[in-house]
Structure formats: structure tokens, C-alpha cells
């Protein structure tokens, strides 16, 4: 008795140790940051450490007398509550007061100086941005006279498109209301003259200009001019020429203009993110995916540094916990910083370690908890017991992955659709919306993941049923006893249907509560796989084995039948 009591105590102690070890491994795995469907705030902060900060970028542009870019970055710092410890604002204001011309232009420019040398600032238009620099008649005439003698073929092509009369949303240059188009042509020509456009953009502009003159259809060229018209009102000359020189596609002009229109208050943040990342196309793609939440996330990245913005743009992932981003960032410690650095440098290894800790911890936790179940002592083969624990551990791994990845079920944010908006030049506003949709027959990654998970569950259920049949077959008992044991396991053989119905119900409940996106395909896939699994188990596994047992014990069944008849 004493020996059995000691064995029981050791069993319970071993159970507690395994349980605590499993919980500890799961907790350690929870601390490991990963970049599967989102970027943890610690990793984002670590990516920005040691890279160029926004205040350093603003200061470097101020040293080049580009007060426009420096002012816009300073405004972004105000929006993000970044302190100005270097006295940037004082030095910026001093530079503006010392040179009113640079303050109006946004940056010193040799071509503007040559064209507007005799025109006082009072003659400039009151329109904002670079458009206001060119819109006045004296400025247009002077700049046009300077550019008309340009040897740059692209400049000549752009200026010649002013003679087209097939514009639908802009008035021709020769009309009484043609000032906006003429000013836009001059701004585009000046950018081309200073070689501010990248080679792909130059080729596309030239192709559109040649196509418009050859066919008479100026719609595609007009779209680009409208984008430039809107951007020229939003940005001064220094800001305009600095950012546009990094564009590689004409579509980026449209996307940037729409982002400025959609989130006008966040214009400095969008500009700063595009500048710090040196990838405006990636920034526009990020906004197209995550919309207003993407602007907020980019603002957090801008505050951390250029490396953080580049990480977001390259990964195209949302922030793991946007609502508690500042709280989590302020509570980082030495261990968290080391784990963040590890995840940043080795993302795939970090993800593997995290999920391995989840699986191993769940396995040890369930192994330890099984030591306490003394009230139920069904004996089973080691293979079946091991498979059951692996099955439960794997299911726990899936649950932990879903819980630890808040964006696994898809982003709740609505991305920008980059619609077309007519720029406003007067008190009257006009808007033209062009929406293009592309049909798709492919499933998204979330649907594929959920369907794959339900399928794998049914595979594991089938494996357990098969192992149970093999266990009964190997027992050294009579065939009639085996037949009774098979009948006793009917609930187990129906487990696939129970699991399938449970998966469907849980999916539908989560969809109704709004915790996951509505997707009937993934919900009913669980039920379908359950029906198929039970059908395969009953028809291809259980029924043939029962037939074998019945035929093997037919003599005994006949004797039992005779005894029953005699007794009756």
C-alpha cells in the first residue's frame, strides 16, 4: 500500500511539473514576436533604431535651404507629438524671414530665379502651393518664354499639348478659362527641364503626349495633368520637386493625390513616410491596403525612424496592436528588446521558435494533466495515446496562433480605392469617381487557412479512428468481444461529424459577433469534411472489419441463436 501511495504521489508531482513546464513554454512562446500577419510594435521600434529620424531629415533639408520640405516634416512632428529638441523651428523661421523668396517658393531654384527675376512677390497669385507661383499672367508669360527655347524634347512635347482642344475636364489653353491647364503644363515642363522625373515616368509622359496628338484622345494625358494640378496646389515647389523625383510610375501621382484628398489633415505624415522610405509606390500600396489605419500606423513608424517606415512598406503588414501601440512601446524591457532584435534579423526562425514553443508547451501541459485523471483508467495502445496527445496539442497550437495573431482573420480596415477627384480651383467643387473592379475566382489566404485547418482536423480524427480499430484487432480476446468493442466505439467513429458541426457552429457564431469576417465557405467546409470523414470511416473502415468479425464468429452466433431458441 505504501509503495502504491508513493507511486501515486510521484505521479501527481510529475503531472504538476509537466503542467508547469508546458505553461511556461507557452508563455515564453507568447513573448517571442513574429511577423506572420502583423508587425509587433517592439519589432517596428527596433527597426527604426539607429536609422535616420525625421528631425534629422528635416534639418538636412533646411541646410539645403529647402524650407518647404523642412516645414512639412516639422508639421508632421507636431502631429506625432515629436519634441523639437534641436531648435529646428527657430532656425526654420529665421531662414524664412531672411529670404522671403525662398519662403514663397519652398526652395531655391535656378530656373525660377531666371524666369521670375523681375517679378515681385506681390504679383504672384494667391493660390497655394507651386500653382500659385506660376498661375499669375506675368509669371506664366515669363516662364513660358524661358521654356519655349528648351532643347529638351520632352519639354517641347508637353508644351505642344497645350494646343489640343479635346480636353474634357480642363479648358484648353487658348480659352478664357485655360489658366489652370497652362500653369500645369509649365510646371510639368519645368520638372522635365530640371530632370525631376525618373526615366520610366519620362517615357510614359512622352508616350501619352504623342498618343494624344496622334489620335486626338487626350483623356489619359488629361488624367496626369489633373493629378499634377491637384498636387501643385497641395505642395510648394520645394516639396513638389523633392518628392516627385522618386516616383517610378504615373499611377503614383494619382494615388498620392487621392491620399492627400482623402486624408488632408495627415498630408504631412503621408509625405514624411514617402520621403523617409524612399519608396512612395510602397507607401501608396500600403494605404491602398489599410486606408486610414494605415496612415495612423505610418505615423507611428515615422516617429520611430526611417527603418521602421521601410519595414512597414516592405512587409505590407498592419501593426499588431494599434490601439495600445504607445503603451506597449513604452513598456519594453531588455528581454523584449533582445527578442525584438532576434525577430527583426531572423523572422522565419523567430516564427518557427514561437510555434514550436506553443506546440511543445501544449503537449507537456496535456501530458501533465493526464496524470491527474486517475478516475478514468482506460488502457490504450501507446500509439493511440501518443496520437491523441499530438492531436490535442496541434489543435491547441492552432488556437494559440489565432489568439496571438489579431489580424489572422483579415484586416478590419478599409483601404483606399484611389478614386479620381477633380481638383478644386474655385468655390465650386466637382467630382468624378471612376471605380474599376477586377473579378477574381481565387480564395483569399484566410479562407484557405480555415479550410485547411478543418480538413486537417478530420484527417486527425480519421487517424485516431483507424488506430482504435487496429488496437481492438490486436487484443487477444474472442471475436464476439471485438465485435462488442467495435459497437461500443460508435460514438468515436461519429466524432468526425461532431467536430465538423462544432466547427461550423463556432465559425457562424464568430461571424455573427463580428470577430471574424463573414465567410460561409470556410464555415460549411467544416461540416462537409465531417460528413465525408464519417462516411469514409464507417464504409471503408468499420463496416469491412465488422463483416470480418461476424464471419469469423458465425459458429458462435449460431450456437447462441440455438440456445436462445431452446431457452425460449
DSSP 426-450: SS--------------SPPHHHHHH
Please tell me the predicted confidence (pLDDT) of residue 436.
38
Q: In terms of residues, how long is the chain?
A: 568
* Confidence bin at 203 (pLDDT 50/70/90): very high
CA 527 to chain centre: 30
CB 118 within 8 A of CB 88: no
Q: Residue 164 — φ and ψ, nearest 5°?
A: -70, 145
- Residue 491, CA atoms < 13 Å, CB-side half-sphere: 1
Report the range of poorest mean pLDDT among 214-218, 231-235, 524-528: 524-528
CA distance 256 to 227: 9
> Is 45 buried (19+), middle (13-18) or exposed (0-12) by CB count in 10 A?
buried
Mean pLDDT rounded to a whole number for the chain:
79
Please tell me the predicted confidence (pLDDT) of residue 432.
33
Tens digits of per-residue pLDDT, 116-128?
888 888 888 888 8
CB 235 within 8 A of CB 68: yes
Q: How would you label 492-525 residue by residue, b for 16+ Cβ within 10 Å and e otherwise?
A: bbbbbbebbeebbeebeeebeeeebeebeebbbb
Neighbours of 286 (CB within 10 A): 28
CB 366 within 8 A of CB 392: yes
- Predicted TM-score (pTM) of the model is 0.71
Name which residue leads in pLDDT, 197 or 392: 197
Place of cell 523661421: 93
Please tell me the predicted confidence (pLDDT) of residue 273.
92
Tens digits of per-residue pLDDT, 501-522?
887 887 777 667 665 565 677 6
Q: Which residues pair with residue 319 across a beta bridge?
A: 39
> Is 472 buried (19+), middle (13-18) or exposed (0-12) by CB count in 10 A?
buried
Most confident range (mean pLDDT) of 243-247, 331-335, 404-408 is: 243-247
- Grid coordinates belonging to 246: 522618386
% of the chain at pLDDT higher than 90: 5
- Grid coordinates belonging to 284: 501608396
Tens digits of per-residue pLDDT, 8-30?
567 677 777 888 888 888 888 88
Q: Residue 39 — φ and ψ, nearest 5°?
A: -110, 120
CA 151 to chain centre: 46
Q: Is the pLDDT of residue 80 over 80?
A: yes
Question: How many helices (H) and strands (E) are present in the chain, helices listed first?
Answer: 29, 0
Tens digits of per-residue pLDDT, 154-196?
888 888 888 888 888 888 888 778 888 888 899 999 998 988 9
Tens digits of per-residue pLDDT, 288-310?
888 888 888 888 888 888 888 99
Amino acid at each position: 500500500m505504501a509503495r502504491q501511495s508513493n507511486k501515486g504521489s510521484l505521479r501527481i508531482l510529475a503531472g504538476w511539473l509537466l503542467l508547469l513546464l508546458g505553461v511556461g513554454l507557452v508563455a515564453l512562446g507568447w513573448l517571442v514576436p513574429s511577423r506572420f500577419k502583423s508587425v509587433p510594435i517592439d519589432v517596428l521600434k527596433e527597426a527604426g533604431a539607429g536609422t535616420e529620424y525625421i528631425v534629422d531629415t528635416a534639418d538636412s533639408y533646411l541646410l539645403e535651404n529647402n524650407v518647404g520640405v523642412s516645414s512639412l516634416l516639422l508639421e508632421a512632428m507636431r502631429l506625432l507629438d515629436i519634441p523639437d529638441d534641436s531648435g529646428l523651428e527657430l532656425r526654420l523661421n529665421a531662414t524664412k524671414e531672411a529670404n522671403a523668396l525662398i519662403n514663397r517658393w519652398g526652395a531655391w531654384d535656378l530656373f525660377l530665379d531666371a524666369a521670375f527675376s523681375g517679378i515681385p512677390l506681390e504679383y504672384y497669385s494667391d493660390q497655394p502651393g507651386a500653382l500659385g507661383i506660376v498661375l499669375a499672367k506675368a509669371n506664366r508669360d515669363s516662364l513660358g518664354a524661358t521654356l519655349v527655347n528648351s532643347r529638351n524634347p520632352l519639354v517641347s512635347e508637353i508644351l505642344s499639348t497645350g494646343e489640343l482642344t479635346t480636353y474634357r475636364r480642363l479648358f484648353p489653353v487658348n480659352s478664357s478659362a485655360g489658366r489652370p491647364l497652362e500653369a500645369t503644363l509649365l510646371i510639368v515642363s519645368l520638372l522635365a527641364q530640371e530632370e525631376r522625373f525618373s526615366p520610366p515616368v519620362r517615357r510614359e509622359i512622352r508616350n501619352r503626349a504623342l498618343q494624344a496628338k496622334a489620335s486626338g484622345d487626350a483623356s489619359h494625358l488629361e488624367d496626369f495633368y489633373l493629378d499634377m494640378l491637384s498636387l501643385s496646389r497641395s505642395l510648394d515647389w520645394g516639396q513638389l520637386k523633392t518628392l516627385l523625383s522618386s516616383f517610378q510610375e504615373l499611377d503614383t501621382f494619382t494615388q498620392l493625390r487621392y491620399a492627400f484628398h482623402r486624408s488632408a489633415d495627415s498630408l504631412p505624415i503621408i509625405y514624411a513616410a514617402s520621403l523617409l522610405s524612399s519608396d512612395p509606390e510602397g507607401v501608396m500600396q500600403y494605404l491602398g491596403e489599410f486606408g486610414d489605419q494605415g496612415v495612423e500606423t505610418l505615423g507611428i513608424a515615422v516617429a520611430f525612424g526611417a527603418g521602421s517606415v521601410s519595414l512597414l512598406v516592405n512587409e505590407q503588414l498592419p501593426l499588431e496592436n494599434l490601439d495600445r501601440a504607445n503603451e506597449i512601446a513604452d513598456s519594453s524591457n531588455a528581454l523584449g528588446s533582445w527578442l525584438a532584435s532576434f525577430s527583426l534579423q531572423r523572422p522565419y526562425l523567430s516564427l518557427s521558435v514561437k510555434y514550436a514553443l506553443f506546440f511543445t508547451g501544449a503537449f507537456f501541459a496535456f501530458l501533465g494533466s493526464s496524470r491527474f485523471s486517475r478516475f478514468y483508467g482506460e488502457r490504450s495502445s501507446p500509439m493511440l495515446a501518443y496520437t491523441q496527445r499530438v492531436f490535442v496539442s496541434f489543435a491547441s497550437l492552432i488556437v494559440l496562433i489565432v489568439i496571438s495573431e489579431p489580424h489572422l482573420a483579415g484586416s478590419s480596415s478599409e483601404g483606399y480605392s484611389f478614386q479620381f477627384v477633380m481638383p478644386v480651383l474655385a468655390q465650386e467643387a466637382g467630382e468624378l469617381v471612376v471605380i474599376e473592379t477586377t473579378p477574381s475566382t481565387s480564395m483569399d489566404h484566410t479562407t484557405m487557412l480555415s479550410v485547411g485547418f478543418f480538413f486537417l482536423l478530420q484527417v486527425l480524427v480519421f487517424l485516431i479512428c483507424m488506430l482504435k480499430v487496429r488496437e481492438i484487432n490486436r487484443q487477444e480476446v474472442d471475436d464476439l468481444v471485438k465485435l462488442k468493442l467495435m459497437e461500443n466505439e460508435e460514438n468515436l467513429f461519429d466524432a468526425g461529424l461532431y467536430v465538423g458541426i462544432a466547427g461550423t457552429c463556432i465559425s457562424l457564431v464568430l461571424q455573427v459577433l463580428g470577430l471574424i469576417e463573414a465567410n460561409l465557405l470556410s464555415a460549411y467546409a467544416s461540416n462537409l469534411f465531417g460528413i465525408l470523414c464519417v462516411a469514409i470511416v464507417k464504409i471503408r473502415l468499420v463496416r469491412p472489419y465488422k463483416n470480418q468479425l461476424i464471419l469469423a464468429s458465425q459458429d458462435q452466433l449460431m450456437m447462441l441463436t440455438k440456445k436462445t431458441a431452446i431457452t425460449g
